[in-house]
Amino acid sequence: MTDALFQNLERDFLLSKEKLAPIVSGFANEYKHGLKTPSRGLATMIPSFVTKLPKGNETGSFLSLDLGGTNLRISAVELLGNGQVRVLELKQSPSQELKTGAGAAFFDWIADAVKELITVKAPHLFTEAQVRGEVTLSLGVCWSFPVDQSAVDRGVILRMGKGFTLQETEGHDLADMFQQAFERKSLNVKVRAILNDTVGTLVAHAYSNPKARIGLIYATGINSAYPEKVEAIEKMDSAVRNKYPPGTEMLINAEIDIFGNESYLPLTKYDLALDASHNQPKFQIYEKMVSGAYLGELVRLIAIDFIKADLLFGGVVPEGLEELWSFPTAYMSALEAEADSLNREKGMEILSNFHFLHMPTLQDMAILTRICRIVATRSAYLASVAIASLIQQQQLLDQPEIVVGITGSTYEFYPHMADRLRCALREWFGADVTDKIKLEIARDGGSIGGALIAMLCRD
């Protein structure tokens, strides 16, 4: 019986080359469609207006701000040349009230943090006139949410994911929201660049490896960026396009998180159940199958089915597990990290938030870990589509080396994720091409990327 249930699960979750094919071509169509469809409401293939990548020899000190799903980081970044950087960072997490409250209050909270960095934490990195507010400080803003950009330092805030439902924010210009908060807090800081975290990742990685052609975030959310020929970005006004010299490339924030629908994504009943219970249903369907924010919930839903079939935990749902989102992805990585030597004590420690009627057996732990492995492996295979399709979009297959800068907790900290991603690429491209693909960890895309773009776009 357990075998039958696992067989069904593996049939639905494990992706062979044949099953990957419609997803890769679905992505190719999304790229094509997104490049010519004006961004309204939900946007994909968003031009960043960044047309230069760093060479690694740039120097200077800059301010950057990075808002992700969990943390706000404000940094003083010193570019030292030779691809070297020094970063002094202030990190804070917004409360639930801030994430769901008035936009202005949220931006005030950010402005307070910027002030603290400049005046308390890192005044020695700025000139006295800058600290006193007599000279303007340039800021690069890395925003891990969709923004419809109209210039490198302008962009309309689109619908945010990751638990943010700020009021009176959507449809407003992001730079204006910052500028107004800086004024309210008497800060002489100017937003010089707005960038998606994927664009920041690609730029930051290009500082240490100028061959980088893809930036991938594989974390709480998932998304990618790559350089596209300006003449191919049909959604951009031709008068704007013509301003760029022929052959210029511009970084595109693909917003792959919102790609996909049932026509080409292999959605299972668990994906549909997760989506239906989410506070933003039908939004970010692909991301909900892949990223760290969701994998644990998928495992929880599957585990409940196993329990109901009397194949797990003696057929009794442990107290707490019936609650939506009660099984975070961190439990999956903890179980998988222990997989080979998992004993009941360690397992119970990981699952200590739940109350069991009967002490779980080793077999229970093995079943739960196997479910985690299946869900995480599908995630890696689906994430590989982001890379494979961008390699094809850029026709990089003939290149001797294909460099991808990747960052994010799901990729970096989930056990075996990097191997699984490579395995998926091998399934799609075969061993020879996959050997040429360098998956390199990109560091501090938000802070360094923000500073670099603020610098590259200064003139």
Tokens representing 21 are: 């094919």
What one-character DSSP code corresponds to residue 312? S
Query: Interface with ligand BGC includes 217 (CB under 6 A)?
Result: yes
Pairing of strands 249-253, 437-441: unpaired
Using the contact rule CB under 6 A, the part of the chain among 2-10, 173-181, 216-224, 306-314 near ligand BGC is 216-224
Q: How far is the CB of 198 from ligand BGC (least distance, A)?
A: 5
Contact set for ligand BGC, span 89-148 (CB under 6 A)? 144-146
Q: How far is the CB of 386 from ligand BGC (least distance, A)?
A: 11
Pairing of strands 402-407, 212-218: parallel
Is 202 or 230 the residue whose CB approaches ligand BGC more closely?
202
Query: Interface with ligand BGC includes 292 (CB under 6 A)?
Result: no
Please classify residue 246 by burial: count the beta carbons closer than 10 Å to its beta carbon, then call 0-12 exposed, 13-18 middle and 19+ buried: exposed
Query: Interface with ligand BGC includes 384 (CB under 6 A)?
Result: no
Q: What angle do CA 431, 15, 9 make, to 5 degrees?
A: 145
Query: What is the total count of residues that contact ligand BGC (CB under 6 A)?
Result: 16
Is 125 or 204 the residue whose CB approaches ligand BGC more closely?
204
Q: How far is the CB of 148 from ligand BGC (least distance, A)?
A: 11
- Contact present, 288 and 278 (Cβ < 8 Å): yes
Q: How far is the CB of 383 from ligand BGC (least distance, A)?
A: 12
Distance from C-alpha of 20 to C-alpha of 17, rounded to nearest angstrom: 5
Q: How far is the CB of 209 from ligand BGC (least distance, A)?
A: 21
Pick one of 169, 198, 377, 384: the residue that binds ligand BGC (CB under 6 A). 198
Pick one of 64, 130, 223, 329: the residue that binds ligand BGC (CB under 6 A). 223
Is 318 or 408 the residue whose CB approaches ligand BGC more closely?
408
- Cα 220 to chain centroid, rounded: 6
Q: How far is the CB of 222 from ligand BGC (least distance, A)?
A: 6
Distance from C-alpha of 8 to C-alpha of 78, rounded to nearest angstrom: 53
Query: Interface with ligand BGC includes 161 (CB under 6 A)?
Result: yes
Phi/psi at 206 (5° precision): -65, -25
Pick one of 61, 64, 196, 379: the residue that binds ligand BGC (CB under 6 A). 196
Pick one of 114, 139, 162, 447: the residue that binds ligand BGC (CB under 6 A). 162
Pairing of strands 402-407, 437-441: parallel
Length of the chain: 459
Phi/psi at 397 (5° precision): -60, -25
Q: How far is the CB of 181 from ligand BGC (least distance, A)?
A: 21
Q: How far is the CB of 431 from ligand BGC (least distance, A)?
A: 30
Within the chain, how many helices (H) and strands (E) appear? Answer: 18, 13
Pick one of 197, 336, 427, 444: the residue that binds ligand BGC (CB under 6 A). 197
Distance from C-alpha of 203 to C-alpha of 205, rounded to nearest angstrom: 5
Compute how many other C-beta atoms are within 10 angstroms of the C-beta atom of residue 433. Answer: 17
Distance from C-alpha of 140 to C-alpha of 250, rounded to nearest angstrom: 18
Q: How far is the CB of 42 from ligand BGC (least distance, A)?
A: 10
The CB-nearest residue to ligand BGC is: 221
Is 122 or 203 the residue whose CB approaches ligand BGC more closely?
203
Q: How far is the CB of 218 from ligand BGC (least distance, A)?
A: 8
Distance from C-alpha of 41 to C-alpha of 171, rounded to nearest angstrom: 9
Query: Interface with ligand BGC includes 318 (CB under 6 A)?
Result: no
- Cα 230 to chain centroid, rounded: 24
Could you tell me the CA-to-CA distances from 78 to 64, 87, 439 in Å, in that order?
Answer: 11, 6, 26
Pick one of 30, 257, 275, 444: the residue that binds ligand BGC (CB under 6 A). 257
Is 323 or 412 the residue whose CB approaches ligand BGC more closely?
412
- Contact set with ligand BGC (CB under 6 A): 144-146, 161-162, 196-198, 217, 219, 221-223, 255, 257, 287
